[in-house]
Amino acid sequence: MGAVNIQLRRKGVLTLPVSLRRKYGLDENDVFTLEDLGDGSFLLIPKVSKVARLGDRLAEVMGEEEVSLEEILEALDEEREIYYRQHYAQP
């Protein structure tokens, strides 16, 4: 998809074409960085949340390893307990 015309509406609202939103997985309330290139041109960059990215990666690994959320939470509790004993428990 090459250049696309979009219209600046009231209160500065821009609507991205649905084809771009689908292609890049963009949703309502996503955050973007707007770079002013200085010559009247702008660059609009989606800012993907690290939490969302990590959540997607975790879901991917869970599917690959066939691990349930309960198993992950249980393992985290065990690791937290080990860490606490190693760093804070009195000898």
Q: pLDDT, tens digit, for every residue of 62-75?
A: 899 898 989 988 99
E strand map for 15-78: 31-36, 42-47
Query: Which tokens belong to 31?
Result: 């955050």
Exposure of 26 in the CB half-sphere (CA atoms within 13 A): 17
Give the pLDDT score at 1: 66
Number of other residues whose CB lies within 10 A of the CB of residue 29:
4
Q: Confirm if 6 and 17 have CB atoms less than 8 A apart.
A: yes
SS3 content of the chain, % helix, strand, coil (to 5): 50, 15, 35
| Domain residue ranges in the chain | 10-47, 50-87
Distance CA(84)–CA(76), nearest Å, equals 12
What is the per-residue pLDDT across 4-49, written as a single tens digit (0 to 9) for each? 889 999 999 999 999 998 988 888 888 899 999 999 999 989 887 7
